[in-house]
Amino acid sequence: MSAPGKPPVVAHTRLELEALLAERAGGGPVGLVPTMGALHEGHASLMRVARAEVEAGPVVVSIFVNPLQFGPDEDLDRYPRTLEMDLKVCEREGVDLVYAPDVEDVYPTWPEQPAVTIDPGPLADVLEGRVRPGHFRGVLTVVAKLLGLVRPDVAVFGQKDYQQLVLIRRMVADLCLPVRVVGAETEREPDGLALSSRNRFLNAEQRIEAAVLHRAIVAAQEAGTYGLEPALGAARAELRTATLVDLDYLTITTPDLAALPEASEAGTRARILLAARLGATRLIDNAPLVLGQTVPTGPTEGRL
């Protein structure tokens, strides 16, 4: 393990990565935290989860803005690239190795798209996939590549991108990939706003209103005691108090993102997910809830 305060070793190419991993072979289980950089406290918490999972084994962080998961109208060029600052976060968290490649290292034929990609299946066509066609194909393709390059024992992803987490688990199960996927709890600001690289694009007014997403989730969790429709109604009522928030979707599903039966049994475990635009910035959030009984409303759950 790299002592906190000691800079991580940085590999910019697959060859460097392979050589550095070979040097550490036998040094304990390997943990991987895939990121697109612009690291914040939410990413730091993923690194801490990885560290707890592998103890003295090496923690590897990848920093790569994956073009394949951006649509033609999305903010690929606007996506913040802050490698120097990101390396400081990795250093503080005692990360051993950072893989920070350029596009050609990951996609050798770029700008020609790879001929073979991962088909994420029908779950990629709903929720985020409905507004971001092709997004999850890009995510799963790059995650599969990173898993192949780093060959970690454990890979840590945030529950904040819940649909992504569910799809990655599905890929790992369906392709029999030898890695354990850990879903880490969402980190929040004191007013409940989920930490996200996109929060920096909110102006002061939008930033204040953005906390309504979490208030809507808490309202749904509380009203979940009375069932699905009351939970959705409570979340909608909370969202109506905001004037700058343009809701994309609000839904309650099973933890695997399947539709819930209209009348759920008391104690049914579910997930609430929502996405909204504040000006040009699109935010997402989600949390577990139980239909037909109360659940705590504070930090919602631990690792998945």
**Which parts of this chain interact with ligand PAF (CB under 6 A)?**
34-36, 66, 69, 139, 142-143, 161, 164
Work out how close the CB of 158 gets to ligand PAF at its nearest, in angstroms, rounded to a whole number.
7
Work out how close the CB of 237 gets to ligand PAF at its nearest, in angstroms, rounded to a whole number.
31
How far CA 222 is from CA of 231, 290, 301, in Å, comes to: 7, 9, 15
| Amino acid in the structure at residue 195 | L
The HSE-up count of residue 26 (CA atoms within 13 Å, CB side) is 1
> Among candidates 4, 13, 295, 252, which has minimal Cα distance to 127?
252
C-beta of 153 vs 209, nearer to ligand PAF? 153
Active site residues: 43
User: Do 228 and 250 form a contact (C-beta atoms < 8 A)?
Assistant: no
C-beta of 128 vs 238, nearer to ligand PAF? 128
C-beta of 60 vs 291, nearer to ligand PAF? 60
Work out how close the CB of 55 gets to ligand PAF at its nearest, in angstroms, rounded to a whole number.
23
Q: In what order do the strands lie in the sheet with 245-253?
A: 245-253, 268-278, 281-291
C-beta of 104 vs 229, nearer to ligand PAF? 104
Work out how close the CB of 36 gets to ligand PAF at its nearest, in angstroms, rounded to a whole number.
4
Q: What is the DSSP letter of 194?
A: B
Q: How many residues does the chain have?
A: 304
Q: In what order do the strands lie in the sheet with 180-184?
A: 9-11, 97-99, 59-63, 31-35, 154-158, 180-184
